[in-house]
Structures are given as structure tokens and as C-alpha cells.
Amino acid sequence: MAFWNPYCLNQGAMRDDANFSSPMNLYEACDQDELRILLITGGWDVRRSFNQIGIQPGDRVRVLRHAPFGGPLVIDNQGTQVAVGKQLAQQIRVEVLP
Amino acid sequence: MKVALVGQPNSGKSTVFNAVAGYHSLTSNFAGTTVEYTRGQARVGGVVLDLIDLPGLYSLTPTSAVEEVSRDYLLENEWDVIINVVDASQMARSLELTLELLDLEAPMVVCLNMMDEAARKGMTIDTKSLSDALGVPVIEAIGGRGRGIVETFRAAQQEAAKGSNPHPFLYAPDLESILKELGGKVAGTLPQRPSAFHRFSALPVISSNPMPAASVKCLGGCCNTACGGQESVIAAPRVESSRHAPAQGSASVAVAEPPVRAGADLPYNEFQGTASQSQIGNLISHVGNLKSQIQVFPPARYRALQLLQSKPNPSPKRELAVCAATPDSGRRTPDLLVLTPDLLADAALRTPDSEQTFVDWARMEITSRTGQPADAAISSARHAACLNLFERVAKVARPKSDWRERVDHIAMHPIWGYAMLAVVFLGFFRLIFNVGQLGETRILSVFDALVALLTRHMDPHSAMFAAVKGGVLGTAGAVAIVLPYLLPFLAGLAILEDIGYLSRVGYLMDAGMHRLGLHGTATLPVLVGYGCSVPAVMATRILSTRRDRFIAAFLAVLVPCSARMTVIFALVGFYLGANYALAIYGLNIVVVALSGAVLARIWPEISPGMLMEVPAYRVPAAKVVALKTWWRLREFVLVAFPLLVVGSIVLSLVDFYGWQHGINAALSPLTALLGLPRSVGLTLIFGVLRKELSLLMLMQALGTTHILGAMTAAQIIIFTLFVTFYLPCMATLASMIKELGWRLTLAASAALLALAIVISLAARGVMLIL
């Protein structure tokens, strides 16, 4: 599936050598990655809209799928599926959980 | 007794509402179906309840116009009890709103809806301990099947009768102390709501101790340049006494003295130092002893929370002080609002009683303690409390893997997802066409016979005959031509909405919508537009900016609504074939895309992007689909049907007395330009009242139900295209004026008219060449 997301970092064989703590944003995560949200940047509005939908720094989320053509990705947060657009996803710093 | 149904989007408030009040409120399986509150009445246990179904809101700090509707209702109107509808399968997140509602300290019941879905997800919820933890009754329910609904309303009645005021959920002590402080300060400065509850009859006595000066050092980072890295000391504003009115719920005025700048002998806190935090904590704990709690609505603590969470709005004077630093890593982000004490003190001196000064002070306090912006600190505290609570009361087993996941695997697949989208929509319109055509031919033949009968038994040259014939043709149009297409369309739409597919369409279309300067969330109003433009224009409220709302509303109006759908199918589809009708839909999509792209150029703005819940699939209940179809059809039966018949009679008489010539002559430049028969001019005027009218009027104007004899195929296509795109109907115009203002509505109407002429001319040109 990574084929559809050219932004996806650390994929495939690289994954083993990847530095998991390296800073990356949510949009760079690959499908099925388990992530921890580290920081939501982008100011009050972005923070507020993520907080509202129940996503906060420290949360553990899983990437389910990416839409093609730079479309949104769907993450699973405590059983809630949320579609996050590219611009917003790029405002979120995450780390990949092993 | 007034009962307000409050809950997060798509938690089933409207379902609960409809379960007792009859189908008055539209339900769907996507967030943001209800954008205005609906009132209804229900008799539960012999008591008549006034129900208010509020639009869903994620929190009491709104980010969209829909949420503002709900919040403002809760704060500005009277109600006796809240029923907080919670989607049990999303409990961890939904509890955040519940905690915020508890801050209102008003009677409340939690209705734990969709227990079946929670069970499917492998969740078991200990309702009893949840109820104990929240301090309000929690009732399990399955709204779709009507289970637990009556119990919920009974519990709500009991709570309202008791007048119980639940306690807010408290956060960390140092956060609470700031909240208490700020609450005390702002209680007097804020205007009270005009109609305070008698229950909350106020005893507004504010009397706080003079506050000792708290000193805060500048918070590192770029602030160093602003305040020179110097320690600076701010004296918190001092509220000494208050004047209070004896009347219930009336405002009390806090008289604040200008703050004094204290000397630098007080200890200051180091950047992010833990020791200094406790020092400030000590100072604050000195302070916060309010002698009496203020019993007004909304409660002081709630107000403090709201003020701290609202969008920081730095005044020009304070802008200098806004700077950025994330203490944990030294990474700079532009979102951390840090005010230097210097500037804050200046501001306080200038506007001593401004609540903004207190708020800034409290924001700074929280930021200095937690290293987060105040709103983030509060919401993360709430989030943590919710997760905690959730873990205490719910157990999550491994969810059973079921068909839903496999469906999503296809429906949201990068290739098959789009294929499925095409199949679903083509199938949908094919179905409408086939069912509609079947109905149209059969019912129309009955009316044809009736007209023939009339001609034989009445004097065909009397005004009476013209009127009766007009009435019969109007009825024929409504029953035989509009209804056969409308009914399968509405039923199909109801099913699509209830399954939860529309959100998936939004997901698939997000990338494309970005080309139109919008994002995936905006697909929902546009898709709703296929049903009716009025709710579509209203649904644009789920978007956060005025610009997004305008573009989405414009595109939603361009999309052929069910009325125009009947024109397309009953004219082009019926006379020329289903493929021509589908081609018009295809052309329409192209026009929508192009208009969006053009609008995005004219009014460029970076859209904040899509953040949308993807709801779980649900099997639509036959009863709900039927009720919903009827609910939408009722609008047609009650409003459009009489209009069609009366309009038809009026047109017959106009025709009989020969008044139409003037109007047709006035419109003849347009009809000549489009190559249409001169007599259709009048029908275009009627089309603004109701789009179906232009179809019926066409038959009237041409004097036959068999249009192909009176117009050529090319004329039919041009007429249909023009009717599809030109001015929206009256009802849509009214709702556009309401949502967008008359200026933008006027601009949009002019643009639509021009667009319709251009498209029709282009079609004419193409057909001339062919």
C-alpha cells in the first residue's frame, strides 16, 4: 500500500534500520503503523480541531489507509476512525512505535 | 419541562428525539446532519416534555457555525435538563463533552446510546460505576430500536424535578486554583445572560482577598529580546469588593483597582523551573479563597474554562508580547502564546477592569506551569481524565473482525474505491430512471384519458375548461411525472445516507476537492445538494470559514436537486433515453468542478483541511428509511404539489386570456438566443418558484404532454440544461440569503444565470455542429 503514499518514510526493509525516534509528521507514516502523537503544531485552530475529535499529544493511533493523489489518511484512535487531510496531517509530529 | 438533547455529532440525538417525538428531525449516518435545532413534544410518563434536538457538537468551544448554534442555545435559552447522548462505541472521546457539560452544573442525564455497536466492538461498559464517577444517571440505550429511550426520559424528569446540580469534574489542583481565581475575577465583569434561571437565582457576592503580587519571569525563547531577559514582576489585578444587585441572576459589578507594580523583591520563577512552580502555587493558594460561590449561570468555573480555551486574540498592543517557544525541546512553534509580564502589566494599567487582562494572566500562569498553551493544557487535562475514566469503566476485548472492515477495504481502496463510487452512483440513477419511467408512462396514460374525457364533455372554449384542464395537467405533472422519480430517489438517498457511505465519498473526493479550493468535508453539503438545495446550503455550516461556506453553497446549488432531477429524467430521460440524462449529470459534474476551480482562483485561501470522523457502517432500518423518505416527500406534497396545481391553473388562464404574450415577448431575446420556442419564456419565470413548475408549465405552454412533438431533441436538451443551471428556486435563495448574506447571494445568482446562458449556448453550438 505504500505505493500510494510516496511520502511514506521508513518503509519496507528500511524499517529495521529506521531511527524510530526521528521526527516525522503523521503524513509520512505508512499504513498499519502504530504511532504516538508527539506534538500538534499549527496554532489554536489546528490544535482545537484535533482536540475536539479526541486526538491529543500522547495518544496512540494506528494508520489504516491513505487515499491516492495526496488525499487524506484514515487513522484509528481508540476505535474511532478519523480521516485527516494532508495539510493537517503534516502539522502533527509523531513517532513510530515498534 | 424543557429537555435539551446534546451530544457529539453522529451520536444519535436525532434518533432518540424521533423515537419519542415522531419523525421530525432528519437522521443520517454522518456527522453534521442536524444543523439547526428542532423542537418537538413528547408525552413520557404522563408528562408532556418539550424536546430540543441540538446539532452535534464536539465540545463547548465551537470551531464551526453548527457548534455555535448548540453552544449558544445552551447558554442563552432556558431548559430544565440536558440529555447527553453518548455514542457508547466512541465513549472514550465522547466523554470529553460529557465532562464539559458537567461544568455547567445543571441537571443532566447521560444516555449511553448504540450499546449494540459497542458490544460489537468488544466493549463492556460498567454503567453503574460510570454513573457514580460522573455523579449523574447513566442509561443504556439503543436508539435505533427504541430501547432505553423511555427510561432516559424518565431519569431526565427525575433529575429536573430534583433540581440536582452535578459537580464538575475537577482537574489537577494547581489548574483548579487558577480556574477558581479567574472564575472569581470574571464573574462580575461578564454580562449576565438576560434570562437567568430561577433555579440559579443568584447570590452574586464576590468578595475576594486582595491578591498578593505574583511574579513571573519571562519565558525564555524569543521573549528574551522583548523583555531583555530581565525579571519582571506583575501584580495581578486586585479585586476588592463588588456591588451586587439583590435581584436574581442580575449582574454584579466587580470594582477592580488598577494593579500596582510590585517591587522586585519577590521571588521569580526560572524558565520552566519546578521550584518556581511551587512558589507560584503557594502564592496562588494564598489568593483563591473566595468567600462565597457565585450561583449564576453559567457557573464561574465554566466561564473561566471558556475564556481560557477561546482563541487567543492578541490586541495590537500585546502583539509584541506574543512569541513562541516550546519548553521541552527548545523547538520553536508559532502557537504558544506567551505574554511578557511587562506588557501585560501595562495593559492591565490601561484597562484595569478588562477581563482580558485576567485571562491573559491566567493563560500565562498555566503556560508557565505546564509548558503548554492554556487551551492545550486544559483539553489535555480533560482528555487524560476521560481516558482514565474510560479505562475504569469499560473493558475492550478484541473486536470481532466483520464485514465492515472488508467493505471498507474495497470502498476506500485507491482503485476499487473509485470504481465502487461510479457503480453506486450509476446504479442509483439507473434505478431511479427505470422505476420512474415505469410509473410515468402508466400514470400519464390515465391522465391523458381524463383530459380527452374533459374535452368531450366541456366547452373547450370556456375559461372554466381552461382552469380545469390546467388543474388536471398540474396534478398529472405532480403525480405522474414528478412523483415516480422523486420517490425512488428519496428512498435511495435515505439508504445511502444511513449506511454511512457518504463520508467515504468525502474521503475519496478530498484530493479532488482540493483542486476546487475545498476539502473533503465540503463534499457532504454538495452531496446533500442532490436531494435538495435548501438543506445543502444549510449543511455548509459544518465548514469553518465563510469562504469555504460560500464556495460549497455555490457548488451545492449547481448540483441538480431532486426537483431538477425530475426535470432531467422526465424530459431528457423519458424522451431521449437514460444515457442522455446521465450525460447531463456528467456534464454537471464537470461544470461543478470547473466552477469550483474558478472560484478557488477568485477567492484563494488555504483551506484548513479535512478532519472528519468516518462513521461505522450501519444497516439502515427499513422503518427509518421509510419515515425519512416520507419526511422529505411531505415537503413536496404539502408545498410543491399545491404550488404546481395552482401554478398550472394560473398559467392556463393566462394562456386563455392571452396574457402570456407580453412576458414571452420580454423574454424573447433570451429564448431566441437559446433557440427555444417563444412560448417557453413564461415557464422559466415559473421555474424560479419551484423547479418542477418549469416542466409542468412547459407542457401547459406547449399545450400537450407529448413534448417531443412540439420541441426538437436539441431544444429539449437546451431547455433542460438552462433550467438545471439558472437561478436557484425561491426557497434556496432564501436560505442562501440567510447563510451567506444578500450580497453573496446576489453575486452567486448573477454568476449562475450567466453560467446557464453560457452552457446552453455552448450546447446549442455543439448540436448545431453535429
B260-289: per-residue pLDDT in tens?
333 333 333 333 334 444 544 444 444 443
Query: Among A22, A36, A53, which would you mutate to test the B interface (most chain B Cβ atoms within 10 Å of its Cβ)?
Result: A53
pTM for this entry: 0.72
| Nearest Cβ partner for A56 among B90, B379, B503 | B379
* Confidence check: pLDDT of B221 > 50: no
B110-136: per-residue pLDDT in tens?
999 888 888 888 888 999 999 998 889
Q: Which of A46, A70, A83 is nearest to B506 (CA)?
A: A83
Choose the weakest-confidence range: A42-56, B55-69, B228-242, B738-752.
Answer: B228-242
Question: Measured between alpha carbons, how far is B614 from A74 in angstroms, rounded to an integer?
Answer: 8
Looking at residue B355, its pLDDT comes to 67
ipTM: 0.85
Q: Give yes or no for A58 touching B (CB within 8 A).
A: yes
Chain B residue with CA closest to A74: the answer is B614
Q: Is the dihedral of CA B393, B399, B404, B408 positive or negative?
A: positive
For B682, the grid coordinates are 413564461
Query: Between the ranges B162-166, B324-328, B741-745, where is the mean pLDDT highest?
Result: B741-745
All residues of chain B having their beta carbon less than 8 Å from the beta carbon of residue A62 are none
Chain B residue with CA closest to A68: the answer is B414
How many angstroms separate the CA of residue B115 from the nearest CA in chain A? 14
How many angstroms separate the CA of residue A25 from the nearest CA in chain B? 15
Verify whether the Cβ–Cβ distance A71 to B508 is below 8 Å. yes
| Nearest Cβ partner for B507 among A53, A72, A78 | A72
Query: Among B63, B383, B409, B610, which would you mutate to test the A interface (most chain A Cβ atoms within 10 Å of its Cβ)?
Result: B610
| Nearest Cβ partner for B414 among A39, A68, A82 | A68
Question: Measured between alpha carbons, how far is B521 from A10 in angstroms, rounded to an integer?
Answer: 30
Q: Which of B194, B175, B207 is nearest to B304 (CA)?
A: B175
Question: Measured between alpha carbons, how far is B408 from B426 in angstroms, rounded to an integer?
Answer: 20
Query: Among A8, A39, A40, A44, which would you mutate to test the B interface (most chain B Cβ atoms within 10 Å of its Cβ)?
Result: A44
**CB B118, CB B93: distance < 8 Å:** no
Q: Residue B327's pLDDT band (boundaries 50, 70, 90)? A: very low
For chains A and B, count residue pairs whose Cβ atoms are closer than 8 Å.
143
Q: Which conformational region is residue B105 in: left (phi greater than 0), alpha (psi within -120 to 50 degrees), or beta?
A: left
A69-A71-A75 Cα angle (round to 5): 140
Looking at residue B751, its pLDDT comes to 92
Q: Give yes or no for A72 touching B (CB within 8 A).
A: yes
**E strand or H helix at B432:** helix B416-457
For B738, the grid coordinates are 440567510
Looking at residue A17, its pLDDT comes to 46
How many angstroms separate the CA of residue B291 from the nearest CA in chain A? 34
How many angstroms separate the CA of residue B190 from the nearest CA in chain A? 23
**CB B564, CB B581: distance < 8 Å:** no
Chain B residue with CA closest to A5: the answer is B414
Q: Which of B39, B41, B33 is nearest to B7 (CA)?
A: B33
Q: Which of B296, B206, B189, B304 is nearest to B250 (CA)?
A: B296
Average pLDDT over residues B310-336: 45
| Nearest Cβ partner for B613 among A48, A78, A80 | A80
| Nearest Cβ partner for B93 among A45, A80, A86 | A80
Verify whether the Cβ–Cβ distance B383 to A51 is below 8 Å. yes
**CB B378, CB B371: distance < 8 Å:** no
Q: Is B346 exposed, middle or buried (0-12, 13-18, 19+ CB in 10 A)?
A: middle
Verify whether the Cβ–Cβ distance A78 to B92 is below 8 Å. yes
All residues of chain B having their beta carbon less than 8 Å from the beta carbon of residue A84 are 609-611
CA atoms within 13 A on the CB side of B421: 16
Q: Give yes or no for A44 touching B (CB within 8 A).
A: yes
Q: What's chain B's average pLDDT?
A: 75
Grid cell 466523554 — which residue?
B95
**CB B528, CB B491: distance < 8 Å:** no
Q: Residue B222's pLDDT band (boundaries 50, 70, 90)? A: very low
B585-606: per-residue pLDDT in tens?
889 989 988 888 888 888 877 6
All residues of chain B having their beta carbon less than 8 Å from the beta carbon of residue A88 are 608-611
Verify whether the Cβ–Cβ distance A87 to B608 is below 8 Å. yes
How many angstroms separate the CA of residue B181 from the nearest CA in chain A? 24
Average pLDDT over residues B203-221: 31
**CB B266, CB B233: distance < 8 Å:** yes
**CB B13, CB B33: distance < 8 Å:** no
Verify whether the Cβ–Cβ distance A45 to B608 is below 8 Å. yes
A63-83: per-residue pLDDT in tens?
988 888 888 889 988 878 899
Looking at residue A75, its pLDDT comes to 92
All residues of chain A having their beta carbon less than 8 Å from the beta carbon of residue B613 are 53, 80-83
Verify whether the Cβ–Cβ distance A71 to B383 is below 8 Å. no
Q: Residue B396's pLDDT band (boundaries 50, 70, 90)? A: confident
Average pLDDT over residues B716-739: 87
Q: Is A78 exposed, middle or buried (0-12, 13-18, 19+ CB in 10 A)?
A: middle
Q: Residue B689's pLDDT band (boundaries 50, 70, 90)? A: confident
CA B352 to chain centroid, in Å, comes to 39
| Nearest Cβ partner for B610 among A52, A81, A83 | A83
How many angstroms separate the CA of residue A29 from the nearest CA in chain B? 17
How many angstroms separate the CA of residue B452 from the nearest CA in chain A? 59
Looking at residue B208, its pLDDT comes to 31
Q: Other CB atoms closer than 10 Å to residue A60's CB: what's the count? A: 12
B513-B519-B520 Cα angle (round to 5): 85
Cis peptide leading into residue B298 (ω within 30°):
yes
Question: Measured between alpha carbons, how far is A94 from A60 in angstroms, rounded to an integer?
Answer: 10
Amino acid identity, residue A47? Answer: R
For B766, the grid coordinates are 455543439
Question: Measured between alpha carbons, how far is B29 from B12 in angstroms, rounded to an integer?
Answer: 9
Question: Measured between alpha carbons, how far is B702 from A83 in angstroms, rounded to an integer?
Answer: 52
Question: Measured between alpha carbons, how far is B78 from B40 in angstroms, rounded to an integer?
Answer: 15
